[in-house]
């Protein structure tokens, strides 16, 4: 019989980003590209829940996550990914890994905000367990990413 977690995308997302949160909480440890891109790949089914209007966003998001996944074969950490693009002076160029990282971040932000709004307006009072899961996912997605000032500065310069 198949594992029940196989059919629970929120659980997969929660577990993947909890693992990243543990890494972030560890002093002097950079986030690896491979686990980050793997965690982000679990988010793409949520775009499907948003309907056909978000199909283009889903296609774009998936392409960027695939790029990061491919980059993880030769680049170990998000920090080194950004530094490499800076050295090659291609941070702002379309298709650069850093720019794709920014697009993935924006996709995560969009999904987070949309689902927060859906829960707050329609399901929040009916299903507190669902709210707790999404709240946990959002906390894990954005937990203390500000600890790495260099990452924040680069991302702010791209926006």
User: Residue 27 corresponds to which tokens in the numbers above?
Assistant: 């002093």
d(CA 85, CA 98): 7
Domains and CATH numbers, the chain: 4-158 (1.10.3520.10)
Q: Given this model, what pLDDT does residue 21 score?
A: 84
d(CA 43, CA 7): 13
Quick one: which of 152, 137, 120 has its CA closest to 21?
Answer: 137
66, 48 Cβ separation under 8 angstroms = no
* pLDDT tens readout for residues 92-138: 898 999 999 999 999 888 888 777 776 666 554 435 555 555 555 54
Mean pLDDT by 10 residues, the chain (159 residues): 62 85 83 94 84 83 96 94 94 92 90 74 51 51 39 41
Residues pairing with 35 in the sheet: none
Whole-model pTM: value is 0.71
């Amino acid at each position: 019989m198949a594992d029940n977690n196989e059919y629970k995308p929120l659980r997969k997302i929660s577990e993947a980003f909890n693992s990243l949160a543990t890494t972030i909480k560890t002093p002097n440890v950079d986030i690896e590209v491979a686990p980050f891109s793997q965690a982000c790949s679990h988010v793409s089914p949520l775009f499907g829940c948003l309907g056909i209007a978000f199909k283009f966003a889903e296609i774009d998001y998936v392409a960027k996550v695939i790029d990061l996944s491919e980059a993880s074969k030769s680049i170990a950490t998000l920090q080194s990914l950004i530094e490499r693009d800076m050295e090659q002076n291609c941070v702002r160029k379309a298709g650069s890994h850093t720019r794709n990282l920014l697009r993935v971040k924006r996709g995560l932000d969009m999904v987070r905000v949309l689902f927060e709004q859906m829960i707050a307006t329609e399901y929040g009072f009916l299903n507190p367990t669902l709210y707790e899961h999404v709240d946990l996912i959002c906390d894990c997605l954005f937990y203390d990413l500000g600890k790495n000032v260099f990452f924040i500065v680069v991302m702010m310069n791209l926006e």
